[in-house]
Chains A and B, each alone.
Chain A
Amino acid sequence: MSVRPLDHPPVPLRPDERALRLMAAIGLLPLLLVAAVVVVGILEPRFFGLMNLLNILRAASFLAIIAAGQMIVLISGGFDLSVGAVVALTSTVSASVMAALGAALPEAPATVIAVGLVAGLAVGAVVGLVNGACVVLLRVSPFMVTLGTMSIVGGLALLLTNGIPVYGLPEALVRDFGRALWFGVPASVFVAAAVVALVWLAQTRTVAGRHLHAIGGNPQAALVSGIATRRHLVGAYVASGLLAAVTGLVLTARVGSGQANLGGLDLTLQSIAAAVIAGTSLRGGVGRVERVAVAAVFLAIVTNAMNLLRVDSKLQLIVLGVVLVAAVAIDELAKRRQIRD
């Protein structure tokens, strides 16, 4: 008997595999975005009207801010279901503070606005801190923790106002910011752009960002490498809470009153949808904020198009659900086909 060397021809890539690899590299999103614009533009010329475009931008800016926070938590390997409720509580708390203070100090609107903003941001930070502390110290799953805080925070917002809108915001906030156009663009777009830029900087250029990615990618490796995983996890939830609070403040200024029904479960789900469509991994470690911003624009366009085309609102929910599942499924498929050398 002798040794028999076995031969083995190399296996070439099939064309469909190449397509999938390319898709995995650039992401499906830019293609979807262009396709959506073209299709809607053909079906409904009003889509390109200035007012409509501004509406889309505004809606996208709200979503981009809250989804950026959601993405940070997803990268850490967690979940934040409480963001929508934080929007509601931020809105009612900041509006109540500004209304009460505005009555006492009618001649100092700048002070009133500043205190209101700080109060709103504090709400987000506190909720984020509680979320992070429960996840890290009590080791409860992020899903359950934030499901709980979602209920608590949403309940607080309703309790605070009995469900009645809080009026009496400083005129300047609503006129010069909430409903204002700066250089012809809604003011909220500038806020969103600043948030995206800051998060991008933190992700790619800071040690904390690098550590967060490592924790999401392999918690054990991060721990062994001497990273303070607990501090970073808490930080991720605080960041998410803060960005949800920013969304709440921008929405409050836009609406002109504090309302407990702003945000809610709907916005939470959209924030997860935008992050995941943008390729953020639900297993943690992967996510890019600039893609999340594009995904927010895409979702805003889809919603806007369905409104323009007078699609039944119930049908809209179904369409959004299908888009979400399809986007994630294609992402998964591309990943499963990934080849190691």
Chain B
Amino acid sequence: MAVAPLPTAPAPVAPGTASAAPVLSLRGIVKCFPGVRALDGVSLDVRPGEVHVLLGENGAGKSTLINVIAGTFAADAGDYLIDGMPAGALTPQRARALGICPVFQEFSLAPNLTVEDNLFLGREPRRLGFLDRRAMRAEARRIIADLGFDLDPARTVATLSRAHQQMAEIAKALLAEPRVLILDEPTASLTESETEKLFGLIERLRAEGVAIIYVSHRMPEIRRLGDRITVLRDGRHVRTLPMAGVTEEALVELMTGRKVEVLFPHIQHRPGEAALELRGLTTADRSVQGADFVARRGEITGIAGLVGCGKSELVRAAYGLCPLEGGEVRLFGETFRHPSPARALRQGLCYFPSDRVAEGLALERPIRENASMAALDEAAIARGGVLRRAGERGLIQRTVERLALRPAHIERPVGALSGGNRQKVVLARGLVRDTQVFLFDEPTVGIDVGAKADLYAVLKELAEGGAAIVLVSSELPEVLHLSNRVYVMHRSRMIAELSGADLTEQAILSCFFAETGDGRTGREGVAS
């Protein structure tokens, strides 16, 4: 190894050099939350000048791990070493002072402040005890220009799009001159050109000896940037391997613990009459603009798109959860005026929220009450406003068993269940009454592989039984393998409908990177 020219400067290290001493080492990290063991003895070495990819499904423990590294969570057991020395009790502030800078998906930005205020939050330059606003403005402009982002430092964060908030978040992390930079799906809402700039930046930082922990699901970028990959599954460390020579199939198998074709069932789609039609739908907050959409009986219709593109809002609006400004919702050929959840349920339309804790479940209450919550007007459960407890118990018990919820004790509080079982309770709500149209919003977020397979089996059963299923998901494999047709949304607009041979990962990804606004879709090479 070369001798460092200056005692303070980090020694220049070739990317991923095996001889480089790790800047960050985790040994046997354990982290438990009530009811779940989120991390179970995870070890990780991150060396200066490498891009270390963390790979795993949702719920595999990636976010918990980066939160432990960033000092947000304290580990219950295990060692945390920085430069070979125990890091001691770590807080977010201490981690930052040690040069560990996270860029989270849930942004650490104060929405009421401007971009530059946020960049300097907690380390404001001052003059004579007052804020040095001129210095802040100049420094903010310099760093944003340096990153090549199109971002106005004087804008209030709440008024920015998700992509711009992401840029602000990245700029904030880099202002601190990191030694370990953590990027959690940083490209999730960036366009192709912005992504390109970010990649250039990552390569530059790597060359400067910064260690980068990179969380992503996207194979092309993992392949391009990654030096080593660590795969996590169900909170456990599965394997760490060098990027070179790894196949995609092998990684998926490591991640899921089973072969791709076993996870996704083969579904016989038999598209029938139109069940849910949206015409020129525009929501009041403009998160959806002029969207057209059809879901038919007997098939699964996917909606793909980046985080914040408006795909959730689309189905929420159809269910009456987002106020509409224009457009029409039609159910089984008839206009569905003034959608509201109560009316939608009576018409056989049911929505399953992505955030099951915030919107789906009353955690303190038993499974039985949660499952019957949306069906208390059904004759089997209540008559004349009086509950029929035996009828309710029988119906819920049967439904819960059909969904393979184990153990099937319907009086257990929902808060004691795992993510997968909670999803089943939410799903039971739609099965308890006569539901014809199922709107699933990110149905597999935070649930394990086994529960996923169960859920997919239910989707298959429902679709083959003639129900219309709408699947909104940010997980491309899920949308690709389960749907018969896929709509792609980008920046509030429906930009493509793909089916048959056109329904490929590449086609969807190229839609994501379309620069909309001028009517072009950016997929000229794909369209026939």
Please say whether chains A and B are actual partners in one complex: yes
Residues of chain A touching chain B, judged by Cβ–Cβ distance below 8 Å, are 1-11, 205-207, 210-211, 213-214, 216-218, 220-227, 281, 285-286, 336-341
Q: Which of B486-520 contact A (CB under 8 A)?
A: 493-502, 507, 519
Would A220 and B108 count as touching, CB distance under 8 A?
yes
Q: Which residues of A contact B335 (CB under 8 A)?
A: none
Looking at the assembled complex, report how far the CB atom of B241 sits from the nearest CB atom of chain A, in whole angstroms. Answer: 32
The secondary structure that dominates the A interface is loop
Would B159 and A285 count as touching, CB distance under 8 A?
no
Would B121 and A214 count as touching, CB distance under 8 A?
yes
B131 within 8 A of A: yes
Would B121 and A221 count as touching, CB distance under 8 A?
yes
Q: Which residues of A contact B501 (CB under 8 A)?
A: 1
Q: Which of B433-457 contact A (CB under 8 A)?
A: none
Would A5 and B286 count as touching, CB distance under 8 A?
no
Q: Which residues of B contact A211 (CB under 8 A)?
A: 121-122
Bound Cα distance A339, B123 (Å): 31
Would A11 and B326 count as touching, CB distance under 8 A?
yes
Q: Which residues of A contact B523 (CB under 8 A)?
A: 3, 5
Q: Which residues of B contact A210 (CB under 8 A)?
A: 113, 117, 121, 124, 131
B111 within 8 A of A: yes
Would B131 and A206 count as touching, CB distance under 8 A?
yes
Would A221 and B292 count as touching, CB distance under 8 A?
no
With contact pairs A207-B124, A285-B111 given, residues A3 and B498 touching in the complex (Cβ less than 8 Å): yes
Interface string of B89-101 (1 = CB under 8 A from A): 0001100110000
A-B CB contact pairs (8 Å), 22 listed: A1-B502, A8-B291, A8-B493, A8-B494, A9-B290, A11-B282, A11-B325, A11-B326, A205-B131, A207-B124, A211-B121, A214-B110, A222-B110, A224-B104, A225-B121, A226-B92, A226-B97, A226-B122, A226-B123, A227-B122, A281-B112, A340-B159
Would A8 and B290 count as touching, CB distance under 8 A?
yes
Looking at the assembled complex, report how far the CB atom of A241 sits from the nearest CB atom of chain B, in whole angstroms. Answer: 23
Q: Which residues of A contact B102 (CB under 8 A)?
A: 224
B287 within 8 A of A: yes
Q: Which residues of A contact B96 (CB under 8 A)?
A: 226
With contact pairs A11-B290, A220-B108 given, residues A4 and B121 touching in the complex (Cβ less than 8 Å): no
10 shortest A-B CB distances, which residue pairs? Answer: A217-B110, A1-B500, A217-B112, A285-B112, A225-B122, A226-B122, A226-B93, A225-B121, A214-B110, A221-B108
Looking at the assembled complex, report how far the CB atom of B304 sits from the nearest CB atom of chain A, in whole angstroms. Answer: 13
Bound Cα distance A2, B498 (Å): 7
Would B159 and A6 count as touching, CB distance under 8 A?
no
Would A3 and B502 count as touching, CB distance under 8 A?
yes
With contact pairs A3-B526, A5-B521, A218-B111 given, residues A224 and B92 touching in the complex (Cβ less than 8 Å): yes
Bound Cα distance A25, B70 (Å): 38
Residues of chain B touching chain A, judged by Cβ–Cβ distance below 8 Å, are 70, 72, 92-93, 96-97, 102, 104, 107-113, 117-118, 121-124, 126, 129-131, 133, 158-161, 282, 284-287, 289-292, 325-326, 493-502, 507, 519, 521, 523, 526-528
Looking at the assembled complex, report how far the CB atom of A337 sits from the nearest CB atom of chain B, in whole angstroms. Answer: 7
Would B285 and A339 count as touching, CB distance under 8 A?
yes
With contact pairs A2-B527, A3-B526 given, residues A11 and B113 touching in the complex (Cβ less than 8 Å): no
Would B130 and A205 count as touching, CB distance under 8 A?
yes
If A3-B523, A336-B284 are given as contacts, then 19 extra A-B residue pairs at C-beta distance below 8 Å, sorted by A number, are A3-B498, A6-B495, A7-B519, A9-B290, A205-B130, A206-B129, A210-B117, A214-B118, A218-B111, A224-B102, A226-B93, A226-B123, A227-B121, A285-B111, A336-B285, A339-B286, A340-B159, A341-B159, A341-B160
A-B contact count (CB 8 A): 131
Bound Cα distance A281, B111 (Å): 13
Would B289 and A8 count as touching, CB distance under 8 A?
yes
Bound Cα distance A276, B501 (Å): 58
Q: Which residues of B contact A285 (CB under 8 A)?
A: 110-112
Would B495 and A225 count as touching, CB distance under 8 A?
no
Q: Which residues of A contact B93 (CB under 8 A)?
A: 226
Would A224 and B72 count as touching, CB distance under 8 A?
yes
Would B502 and A337 count as touching, CB distance under 8 A?
no
Would A217 and B130 count as touching, CB distance under 8 A?
no
Contact partner of B495 (CB less than 8 A), chosen from A5, A218, A220, A223, is A5
Bound Cα distance A3, B72 (Å): 45
Looking at the assembled complex, report how far the CB atom of A32 sits from the nearest CB atom of chain B, in whole angstroms. Answer: 24
Would B112 and A213 count as touching, CB distance under 8 A?
yes
B499: nearest chain-A partner, CB-CB: A1
A75: nearest chain-B partner, CB-CB: B112
A202: nearest chain-B partner, CB-CB: B130
With contact pairs A210-B124, A223-B92, A227-B121 given, residues A3 and B507 touching in the complex (Cβ less than 8 Å): yes
Q: Which residues of A contact B326 (CB under 8 A)?
A: 11
Contact partner of A6 (CB less than 8 A), chosen from B118, B158, B160, B496, is B496
Would B110 and A5 count as touching, CB distance under 8 A?
no
Would A213 and B292 count as touching, CB distance under 8 A?
no
Bound Cα distance A225, B70 (Å): 11
Would A338 and B285 count as touching, CB distance under 8 A?
yes
A14: nearest chain-B partner, CB-CB: B325
Q: Which residues of B contact A223 (CB under 8 A)?
A: 92
A209: nearest chain-B partner, CB-CB: B131
Looking at the assembled complex, report how far the CB atom of A201 sits from the nearest CB atom of chain B, in whole angstroms. Answer: 8
Bound Cα distance A198, B107 (Å): 32
Bound Cα distance A5, B102 (Å): 38
Looking at the assembled complex, report how far the CB atom of B177 sits from the nearest CB atom of chain A, in whole angstroms. Answer: 15
Would A213 and B502 count as touching, CB distance under 8 A?
no
Looking at the assembled complex, report how far the CB atom of B24 sits from the nearest CB atom of chain A, in whole angstroms. Answer: 18
A205: nearest chain-B partner, CB-CB: B130
Would B107 and A4 count as touching, CB distance under 8 A?
no
With contact pairs A213-B113, A225-B108 given, residues A3 and B496 touching in the complex (Cβ less than 8 Å): yes
Q: Which residues of B contact A213 (CB under 8 A)?
A: 110, 112-113, 117
B287: nearest chain-A partner, CB-CB: A340
Looking at the assembled complex, report how far the CB atom of A75 sits from the nearest CB atom of chain B, in whole angstroms. Answer: 9
Bound Cα distance A338, B159 (Å): 9
Would B113 and A214 count as touching, CB distance under 8 A?
yes
Bound Cα distance A232, B519 (Å): 49
Looking at the assembled complex, report how far the CB atom of A6 sits from the nearest CB atom of chain B, in whole angstroms. Answer: 5
Q: Which residues of A contact B109 (CB under 8 A)?
A: 218, 221
A221: nearest chain-B partner, CB-CB: B108
Would B107 and A221 count as touching, CB distance under 8 A?
yes
Looking at the assembled complex, report how far the CB atom of A41 sits from the nearest CB atom of chain B, in whole angstroms. Answer: 37
Contact partner of B496 (CB less than 8 A), chosen from A5, A220, A281, A338, is A5
Looking at the assembled complex, report how far the CB atom of A19 sits from the nearest CB atom of chain B, in whole angstroms. Answer: 15
A287: nearest chain-B partner, CB-CB: B112
Bound Cα distance A11, B129 (Å): 48
Looking at the assembled complex, report how far the CB atom of A16 sits from the nearest CB atom of chain B, in whole angstroms. Answer: 11
Looking at the assembled complex, report how far the CB atom of B300 sits from the nearest CB atom of chain A, in whole angstroms. Answer: 16
Q: Which residues of B contact A221 (CB under 8 A)?
A: 107-110, 118, 121
